[in-house]
Structure 1
Amino acid sequence: MPLLEVENLHTYYGKIHALKGVSLTVEEGEIVTLIGGNGAGKTTTLNSICSVVRSSEGRVTLNDEDITHLSAHHVVERGIVQSPEGRKIFARLTVMENLEMGAFTRHDTQEVARDLEFVFHTFPRLRERQSQLGGTLSGGEQQMLAIGRALMARPRILLLDEPSMGLAPLLVRDIFRIIVYLNERDTTILLVEQNALMALAIAHRGYVLQTGRIILSDTAEALRQNETVRAAYLGEH
């Protein structure tokens, strides 16, 4: 039984049919990546899973519990947590306050303290800057903070939306190394990423989304070898 199962999701923005029957699964312990061009519906898929955007048709289940119609904060309480595109940290709050916001649904004080220590261990820069305002951090530091804030909710599945966007190549490598590190420590991950080559290098499986539809799904290695994927998304001709 998959940890996360998405069945036949249809989502609209007004009259625009953004998702046209998206179905996917994520098994516990996996990194699954969702790749596709701009406007393909990748972010909409994550937002629909999280109930940030309401789908008009379809079903989302977490560990066989139907969560389709739950509000966004109840989805977080169930264990689906997103680090959003563009980071969306609280610029006028300190690093520590941003991290504390990640744990706002939790009441297990000792476990929250343990998770905070794990975040600081994973991102030592955040420990150094814990009293600094979020808006004064560099782009890479803000991405670390966005992921750290999501981890403070203790996700059963972590949704990462474009974690490498706008970062220098060295920082991109750092972020992907951290994603692998988190997965090795039992964090299940659904990854949306423009850098398809890097995403497929660390993922177990992948889906290719095009204009709101899944057009391919396979192991990450098979997708890396697929001629259509290589030409369209990996920059190889």
Structure 2
Amino acid sequence: MSFLVLENVHVYYGGVHALKGVSLTVEQGEIVTLIGANGAGKTTTLRAVCAQVKVREGRVTFQGRDITNQPTHEVVSLGIGHVPEGRRIFSRLTVKENLDIGAFSVRDKSLVKRRLEQVFACFPRLKERLNQKAGTLSGGEQQMLAIGRALMSEPSLLLLDEPSMGLAPVVVEQIFDILKDLNQRGTTLLLVEQNAFQALQLAHRGYVIQNGEIRMADAARTLLENEEVKAAYLA
């Protein structure tokens, strides 16, 4: 039984058929990346897992449980965290307040404190800026905060949408090192990333999506050497 399964998933935006029978799997402990051009359906795929868009046909299962179109907060409670494209932090709130929002459903204060310390172990810079307004952080720090906020729900599966977007290369390296470390600590990752080369270097497996359909699936190293992938995404 695969950890996460999307099976023949169809999603529409009005009359636009955004996902046309997307099927993919993520095994526990893996890093899987989904690459493709802008508008190919990458973000929509992640949003379908979190029920932020309605799946019209097909189904999504997590640890054998059908979660298709379940309310987003219930999906989070099952162990799925989501770091959205563009970070979407609350810029007028402090770093601490943003992190607290990530643990909105946790009533045990000692548990919240323990999770905060786990986030600080990954992102020491956030601890240094705990009472700073999130909107005054650098782009890299805001991305760290977005990931940290998702980690506050202690997910077993983390969905990441374009974590390198708008960041300097040295910061991108830092973020990807952190993602690798999270995976080594046991978090499964499904990664959507504009930097296909970086994503395929990090991932165990990859999928290529075009016009809402999965066109290719293979080991990440194999996709890195694929001439079609090189020409389209690695040039």
Q: Does 1:134 align with 2:131?
A: no
Residue 73 of structure 2: aligned partner? 73
CA displacement at 1:24 relative to structure 2: 0.5
| Superposed counterparts of 1:1-237, under 5 Å | 1-235=1-235
CA displacement at 1:86 relative to structure 2: 0.1
User: 1 CA distance for matches of 2:141 and 2:79?
Assistant: 24
Instruction: Say which SS state the counterpart of residue 8 (structure 1) adopts.
Output: strand
User: 2 CA distance for matches of 1:156 and 1:110?
Assistant: 20
User: 2 CA distance for matches of 1:174 and 1:26?
Assistant: 24
User: 2 CA distance for matches of 1:77 and 1:58?
Assistant: 22
CA displacement at 1:126 relative to structure 2: 0.3
Instruction: Say which SS state the counterpart of residue 144 (structure 1) adopts.
Output: helix
User: 2 CA distance for matches of 1:212 and 1:15?
Assistant: 14
Question: Unmatched 5+ residue regions in structure 2?
Answer: none
Structure 1 residues 107-133: Cα deviation after superposition (integer angstroms, max 9, x where no partner): 343232111101111111100000001
CA displacement at 1:105 relative to structure 2: 1.7
Please identify runs of 4+ aligned residues in structure 1 that moved more than 3 A. Answer: none
Instruction: Say which SS state the counterpart of residue 23 (structure 2) adopts.
Output: strand
Identity of aligned residues (%): 63
> What amino acid is the match of 1:137?
L
User: 1 CA distance for matches of 2:160 and 2:172?
Assistant: 14
Question: Unmatched 5+ residue regions in structure 1?
Answer: none
> What amino acid is the match of 1:7?
E
**How many residues of Structure 1 are paired with residues of Structure 2 in the alignment?**
235
User: 1 CA distance for matches of 2:189 and 2:108?
Assistant: 23
> What amino acid is the match of 1:20?
K
User: 2 CA distance for matches of 1:147 and 1:109?
Assistant: 21
Instruction: Say which SS state the counterpart of residue 223 (structure 1) adopts.
Output: helix
Instruction: Say which SS state the counterpart of residue 82 (structure 1) adopts.
Output: strand
CA displacement at 1:144 relative to structure 2: 0.2
User: 1 CA distance for matches of 2:208 and 2:42?
Assistant: 9
User: 1 CA distance for matches of 2:28 and 2:125?
Assistant: 29
TM-score normalised by the chain length of structure 1: 0.98
CA displacement at 1:136 relative to structure 2: 0.8
CA displacement at 1:5 relative to structure 2: 0.6
* RMSD (CA atoms): 0.7
User: 1 CA distance for matches of 2:63 and 2:73?
Assistant: 18
User: 1 CA distance for matches of 2:108 and 2:218?
Assistant: 39
Q: Are residues 108 and 2 of structure 1, via their aligned partners in 2, closer, same or farther at CA, if it must alter by over 3 Å?
A: farther
CA displacement at 1:9 relative to structure 2: 0.6
CA displacement at 1:69 relative to structure 2: 2.6
CA displacement at 1:194 relative to structure 2: 0.4
> What amino acid is the match of 2:158?
L
